[in-house]
Amino acid sequence: MQDILFTMGDVTVTVAAALIAFGALALILLLSIAIVIARGGRANESAAAAQVMRTQELELRLADMLRAQSETSGRMQEMGAALAGRQSDMARAVSERLDAVHHRVGQSMEQTTRNTMESLSVLHERLGIIDSAHKNLTDLTTQVTTLRDVLANKQSRGAFGQARMESIVQDGMPKGSYAFQYTLNNGKRPDCVVFLPDQRPLCIDAKFPLEAITALHAARSDEEKKAAAQRMRLDVTRHIADIADKYLIAGETQETALMFVPSESVYAEIHDGFDDIIQKAYRARVVLVSPSLLMLAIQVMQQILKDARMRDAADQVRTEVMNMMGDIELLRDRVSKLGRHFEQVNEDVRQVLISVGKIGKRAAKIEELDFDVAEAPAEVLANAPRGKAAPATELFPPQFARKMQAGE
């Protein structure tokens, strides 16, 4: 009876309150009817009779209202029970939903924890890689500092360029086709020479005036840059002239020499900003090459030497082919002689076969001979046993006749 039917605002209506309200309404209705009946008693009898009839109708209606009230009370109880069942179902569903949400939240937190651990592991590995890279970077910084110290010294810088040039030449050229510090007839010794097919060496100089380009990089004002550029032109032009005077000897060396620039950036800067130096070098028959261009030139020279060796090998192959043709002619003559010998042997064999055939024919004729008993000698007949006919005497046994037929 204390079940809640509905709520209106802040007021909660229960089943008991609804029944009390309905009873009060019925009581008020009965009081109204009694008042009406009391007032109607003063009327005449006809009105009293009518009033009685009305009272009866009202009683009937009141009975109907009570019955409806009882039905309504039963329905309200059923509604309360249904609401209670739905409330329990809703509570159970909410509980199940909360359990499912809790389970999902737990799985999500577990997956998130696992992903976080994996991310931390990957992060730890990355940090290890970063530490290793930092260590390598530190080592590289030390090496760069050492290289800068080496390049600061002119002799060390020359040795560095010489070593780089030698490694490129040794990697690209076969042994015996090049030489380092080769002495020319004028007593000069280029850093490297490459012997081309005409046996005239191609001279390569590995020294480069790096002080001017260093000063050009260190210049800040326009005047400093202009002075450094002028120094650059003078130093490189002087070095080109020295190479042309020392290493270009008519009839002994090639008509062109190479000046090795050990830095790609320096080579590119000379080509971009000092085209007049490049033109002077071309006119002096001195070609500036960077490490990559020197590697390309070495490959071209290697191909030239390979072509020369192939031409020499082709001449040797041609000579051997001509000798082989002579051997083939000699072999043909000997085979012809051998064929004639085979023809003679075949003729001799044929003659032998003819003789064997004739012998066989004669043996057949001898086998066909038949000797009669009457023609036998008297001694044979006398020696024959009495009472028996004398056997016919054969000149050749059958085995001998068969052997003669077979040519044996």
* Domain CATH for 274: 3.40.1350
Residue 78, pLDDT > 70, answer yes
Structural domain ending residue among the three candidates 260, 293, 310: 310
Task: Identify which has the larger pLDDT, 329 or 14.
Answer: 329
Residue 100 sits in the same domain as residue 171: no
Residue 40 sits in the same domain as residue 100: yes
Structural domain ending residue among the three candidates 310, 340, 358: 310
Neighbours of 299 (CB within 10 A): 12
Answer whether 253's CB lies under 8 Å from 283's CB.
no
pLDDT tens profile 269-288: 888 888 888 888 888 888 88
Host H or E run for residue 81: helix 45-152
Residue 305 is assigned to a structural domain of this protein = yes
Q: Strand 201-205 relative to strand 178-180: parallel, antiparallel, unpaired?
A: unpaired
Mean pLDDT calculated for residue range 115-123: 85
From the centroid of its chain, how far is CA 281? 46
Roughly what angle, to the nearest 10 degrees, separates helices 264-273 and 275-283? 90
**CA nearest to 270, candidates 299, 239, 224, 301:** 239
Host H or E run for residue 65: helix 45-152
Residue 300 sits in the same domain as residue 201: yes
Residue 181 sits in the same domain as residue 306: yes
pLDDT of residue 398: 52
Answer whether 216's CB lies under 8 Å from 158's CB.
no
Residue 278 sits in the same domain as residue 390: no
pLDDT of residue 7: 65
Structure tokens at 139: 């080592």
pLDDT of residue 380: 45
Residue 318 is assigned to a structural domain of this protein = no
Residue 275 is assigned to a structural domain of this protein = yes
Residue 408, pLDDT > 70, answer no
pLDDT of residue 6: 60
pLDDT tens profile 210-248: 777 777 777 778 888 888 888 888 888 888 888 888 888
Structure tokens at 214: 């260093």
Answer whether 211's CB lies under 8 Å from 152's CB.
no
Residue 219 sits in the same domain as residue 89: no
Task: Identify which has the larger pLDDT, 19 or 358.
Answer: 358
Residue 382, pLDDT > 60, answer no
Residue 331 is assigned to a structural domain of this protein = no
pLDDT tens profile 188-211: 888 888 888 877 888 988 887 777
Residue 184 sits in the same domain as residue 259: yes
pLDDT of residue 142: 65
Give the pLDDT band (50/70/90) at residue 74: confident
pTM metric for this prediction:
0.42
For residue 185, what are the contacts with CB-CB under 8 A and spacing of at least 6? 249, 252
354-361: list long-range contacts, CB under 8 Å, 24+ apart.
356/407, 357/407, 359/404, 359/407, 360/404, 360/405, 360/406, 360/407
Burial 152-188, CB ≥16 within 10 A → b, else e: eeeeebbebbbebbbebbeebbeeebbebebebeeee
Q: Rounded mean pLDDT of the chain?
A: 76
**CA nearest to 244, candidates 200, 288, 214, 292:** 288
Counted domains in the chain? 3
Residue 197 sits in the same domain as residue 300: yes
pLDDT tens profile 383-399: 544 444 444 444 445 54
pLDDT of residue 110: 83
Mean pLDDT calculated for residue range 300-315: 82
Residue 359 is assigned to a structural domain of this protein = no
pLDDT of residue 370: 60
Residue 168 sits in the same domain as residue 100: no
Give the pLDDT band (50/70/90) at residue 4: low
Answer whether 182's CB lies under 8 Å from 201's CB.
yes
Mean pLDDT calculated for residue range 253-265: 85
Residue 406, pLDDT > 60, answer no
Residue 2, pLDDT > 70, answer no
pLDDT of residue 403: 46
Give the pLDDT band (50/70/90) at residue 150: very low
Residue 126 is assigned to a structural domain of this protein = no
Residue 200 sits in the same domain as residue 110: no
Among residues of the chain, what percentage have pLDDT more than 90?
0
Residue 346 is assigned to a structural domain of this protein = no
Structural domain ending residue among the three candidates 310, 339, 358: 310
Residue 299 is assigned to a structural domain of this protein = yes
**CA nearest to 260, candidates 291, 300, 214, 302:** 291
Phi, psi (5° rounding) for residue 192? -155, 145
Residue 268 sits in the same domain as residue 397: no
Mean pLDDT calculated for residue range 355-370: 80
Residue 98, pLDDT > 70, answer yes
Mean pLDDT calculated for residue range 307-317: 79
Answer whether 173's CB lies under 8 Å from 194's CB.
yes
Residue 18 sits in the same domain as residue 96: yes
Answer whether 256's CB lies under 8 Å from 287's CB.
yes
204: left (phi over 0), alpha (psi -120 to 50) or beta: beta
Task: Identify which has the larger pLDDT, 405 or 225.
Answer: 225
> What are the C-alpha distances in Å from 11 to residues 5, 6, 7, 241, 391?
11, 9, 6, 114, 168
pLDDT of residue 394: 43
Task: Identify which has the larger pLDDT, 10 or 167.
Answer: 167
Answer whether 203's CB lies under 8 Å from 258's CB.
yes
pLDDT of residue 392: 41
**CA nearest to 30, candidates 64, 59, 3:** 59
Host H or E run for residue 194: strand 192-195
Mean pLDDT calculated for residue range 325-329: 83
**Domain carrying residue 48:** 4-116
